[in-house]
Amino acid sequence: MRWEVWLAYFAACWVIAVSPGSGAVLSMSHGLSYGLKKTSTTILGLQTGLVIILLIAGGGLGALLLASEEAFLVVKTIGAMYLIYLGIQQWRAKVETNPQNSEDKTVRVTIMSRRRRFATGLLTNVTNPKGIIFMVAVLPQFIDPTHALGLQLAILAATMCFVDLIVMHGYALLASRMQGLFRNARAVRWQNRFFGSVLVAVGTALFFVRRHHA
C-alpha cells in the first residue's frame, strides 16, 4: 500500500468515526451510566464488530450480501430490531436509591456484566447494514489488486480500529464527565429515556436503509 493511499484512508477513517451513529450513541450512553473504564469493554466489542464488517466487505462477501435483496433485508431487520431492543432496555432500566436510608440519595444503577457489555458493542456494529454498505463503497478505493489482499486488509483494519478507539473513548469520556449532573434517580431515569429514545430512533431509521442495486 502506497503511503499517500494510506494517508487518504487515515483521513477518511476520522470522518467515518466522528460521524454520529449507533456506536457513538452506545459509547456515550455507557460512558454516562458506567464511567470510562467500564465502557472500554463496550468499545472493544464495537471494534471487534468493526473488524468483522471490514473483513466481510474487503473479502467480497459484502458485495454478495448487497446483491441479494433477501439477505440484505434479513441483516437490516436484525440490526434495526436489535437497536430498538437496546433502546427499550435502556428506557426501562431500573434506577434505585438506598431503601434503608431515606437521607441517602445515592443512585444505584444496575451495571451490565463485562461479557454483556462486550457483546452489546459487538452486535451493535456487526448488525449495522449502513456499516456494510459504507465499507463496500469505500474499501475498494484503497485496495491495490496487484498486491496481497490479506496484508492490505490488516493495515486497513488496524488503522480503522486505532482511529475509532480514540473517537469512541472521546465520546465516552465526555459523557462520563457529566455523571455528576445525574446523581439523583429522576435525572438518571431521564438520561436512560433520552438515550433509549435515540437508540430506538436509530434502529427505526435502519428500516429505511436501501441496498445498492447490483
pLDDT tens, N- to C-terminus, the chain (214 residues): 788 889 999 998 898 888 878 899 999 989 988 889 999 999 999 999 999 888 887 766 656 666 677 777 777 788 788 888 888 887 877 766 555 444 445 555 667 889 999 999 999 988 887 777 777 777 777 888 788 878 888 999 999 999 999 999 999 999 888 876 666 667 777 777 887 888 788 778 777 766 654 4
Looking at residue 207, what is its pLDDT?
A: 79
Q: What is the largest CA-CA distance in the chain?
A: 70
Residue 17 within any structural domain of the chain: no
CA distances from 207 to 96, 159, 168, 193, 199 (A): 35, 30, 25, 22, 13
Contact 163, 47 (CB under 8 A): no
pLDDT of residue 192: 76
Give CA–CA dist 81/88, Å, rounded: 10
Query: Would 16 be classed as within a structural domain?
Result: no
Question: What is the C-alpha separation between 54 and 213, in angstroms, rounded?
Answer: 20
Q: How many domains does the chain have?
A: 1
* Residue 76 lies inside a defined structural domain of this protein: yes
In the prediction, which pLDDT does 129 show?
74
Give the Cα separation of 116 and 119 in Å (integer): 5
Range of the domain at 49: 3-11+22-206
Whether 67 is covered by a domain: the verdict is yes
**Cell representation of residue 111:** 451495571
d(CA 40, CA 127): 20
Separation between Cα atoms, residue 195 and residue 39, nearest integer Å: 15
Evaluate whether 32 touches 183 at the Cβ level (below 8 Å).
no
**191 Cβ partners below 8 Å, 6+ apart?**
32, 33, 182
Residue 85, in any domain of the structure: yes
Can you read off the three cell numbers belonging to residue 115? 461479557
Gap between the Cα atoms of 154 and 195, Å rounded: 34
With respect to residue 197, please indicate whether it lies within any of the assigned structural domains.
yes
pLDDT at residue 119 in the model = 94
CA distance 66 to 175: 35
Quick one: pLDDT at residue 2?
81
In the numeric block, the cell 442495486 is attached to 213
Distances (CA, A) of 147 to 2, 30, 130, 151, 197: 11, 41, 28, 9, 46
What is the pTM for the complete model shown?
0.76
Please report whether residue 213 resides in a domain: no
